[in-house]
Amino acid sequence: MVSTIVLAIVVAVVFTQIANIATTVYLHRALAHRAVALSPPLTLVFRFVIWLLTGIRPRQWAAVHRKHHAFTDEADDPHSPKQLGWRRVQLTNVMLYRAVARDPKQVARHARDLPQTRLDRWLLDHAMVGLAITTGGLVVALGWWAGVLAAAMHFVGYLLLSGAVNAIAHTFGERPYQNSATNLQWLAFLTCGEGLHNNHHAAPTSARFSLGRGQVDPGWWMIRLFERVGLAQVRHRQPVFVSTEVAA
């Protein structure tokens, strides 16, 4: 009984971290910002990981996220803690995301370079199918309740960590650069680097989020690894800053 619960927790943590790697490397750094170009086979792997573990449609994610950068903490920001309060963004992030993601006009405006492909239309846009396959696979592997428990913990964990980047990493933490986002190393450890969010808003096209001494960005390690084996190409060797002023 106890060992089954432990197994379910371990599986959930592993799934959430795989989803976090796909989110930061593929959805965020490669697709939304073009900070790194991934090879077609690696892109395909990530598309399936995103479909199976998150149910996200990549072009919608990129559109919502680009809108966030275009209107950061202004009235049109899809998920601004300054406008809505950090608790609301933390807890209702998925609803705030959907309000923009489900609006075809906004997706077309912010992600016109990312058209729906045939693979999207036939398979990957069917989010519930991907999530059902994952949950069903876990039930087969771990048994009924442990499988459902592992799937639920993974989905909740992923949603809370994604919400934390938008809520906590725009509210609490260090601001070495002049923007409203913050750096939180503990959150960066949990989200494969996303917690270094102040750095990211300062240099959005940088594939590396760790810009200061002692900062750790596991997502950058993954990109370096992919680069070494010929599966990725980084856009800038040195970060290009949109705001070079350092906060007092």
22 binds Zn ion (CB under 5 A): no
181 binds Zn ion (CB under 5 A): yes
Cβ atoms of 216 and 247 closer than 8 Å: no
Residue nearer to Zn ion on the CB measure, 7 or 234: 234
Shortest distance in whole angstroms from residue 201 CB to Zn ion: 6
Count of residues that bind Zn ion according to CB under 5 A: 1
Which of the stretches 35-43, 124-132, 175-183, 206-214 binds Zn ion when contact is defined by CB under 5 A?
175-183
Q: Where are the alpha helices (DSSP H) in 71-126?
A: 81-84, 86-101, 104-110, 118-119
Give the other-Cβ count within 10 Å of 106's Cβ. Answer: 18
Evaluate the CA torsion angle 171, 175, 180, 186 in order and state its sign: negative
**Residues 5, 207: Cα–Cα separation, whole Å:** 37
**Residues 210, 194: Cα–Cα separation, whole Å:** 10
User: Which single residue brings its beta carbon nearest to Zn ion?
Assistant: 181
Cβ atoms of 201 and 72 closer than 8 Å: yes
Cβ atoms of 49 and 18 closer than 8 Å: yes
Which of the stretches 81-89, 134-142, 145-153, 180-188 binds Zn ion when contact is defined by CB under 5 A?
180-188
Cβ atoms of 33 and 202 closer than 8 Å: no
Which of the stretches 10-18, 53-61, 174-182, 214-222 binds Zn ion when contact is defined by CB under 5 A?
174-182
27 binds Zn ion (CB under 5 A): no
Shortest distance in whole angstroms from residue 1 CB to Zn ion: 42
Shortest distance in whole angstroms from residue 45 CB to Zn ion: 22
Residue nearer to Zn ion on the CB measure, 11 or 64: 64
Residue nearer to Zn ion on the CB measure, 144 or 172: 172
**Residues 128, 239: Cα–Cα separation, whole Å:** 38
111 binds Zn ion (CB under 5 A): no
For Zn ion, the binding residues (CB under 5 A) are 181
